[in-house]
Amino acid sequence: MAEKPRMVLIDVDGTLVDSVPDLAWCVDEMMKALGREPWGEARVRDWVGNGVERLVRRALIGQLDGEPSDEEFDQAYPIFLDLYAENTSKRSTLYPGVREGLDYLKEQGYSLGCVTNKAEQFTLPLLRDLGIEDYFGIVVAGDTLPVKKPDPTPLLYAAEFFGTGPEHSLMIGDSRSDVKAARAAGFRIICMSYGYNHGEDIRIYEPDQVIDSMAELKGIL
């Protein structure tokens, strides 16, 4: 990179953590509780990335776009929330290279924040259970502010917390909403090749760089 950033913000699902095994299990158990057929992990993987409310809506209609009836959602959502509260991190794992990448960023003195569309009640336990909560000076969750990614406000909120301008800021994510939020905020953006982007290659959205492991940050920054 031409100039080293001072602040690095990192997404959770699909970037730091492979959380689909837990999310898919909860979706399938919810569907069973509703007397419907489960979808399986491979299908759910394409629906993750915009928060659990959106995930539940997608599971109810079996596709990425569209809406279930209010009655369906109102019945299903509390079931999912109860399941996920008990299964936030039982099957989820850090991606290879994440801890190495975080250690490098910490050693180099970057201000580190976490910006996710996952609700705080699930985000903080997940980070804590996987042993990475203490890396971050701020966690901006999906319900911290009235808006979430792809709106740039959560990124700018974290930048203001650290007293850092957009020109000195980097976002690390995995999805088009991360790219859109970073561009709108004036941040640079690096994306992971392995994340959750609804089955699309993240390169379509032209992030500044695509990497296969956070361990590669050492060579880039």
Contact 204, 185 (CB under 8 A): no
| Beta strands 111-115; 138-140: pairing state | parallel
Residue 211, classed as helix, strand or coil, is: strand
Instruction: With both helix axes pointing from N to C terminus, report the angle between 52-61 and 70-86 in degrees, rounded to the nearest 10.
Output: 120
Widest CA span in the chain: 55
The active-site residue, picked from 11, 18, 22, 178, is: 11
Residue with tokens 């699902």: 13
Q: Please say if 129 is a catalytic residue.
A: no
What sign has the CA pseudo-torsion 52, 58, 64, 66? negative
Residue 199: how many CA atoms within 13 Å on its side-chain side?
Answer: 8
- Which residues participate in catalysis according to the annotation? 11
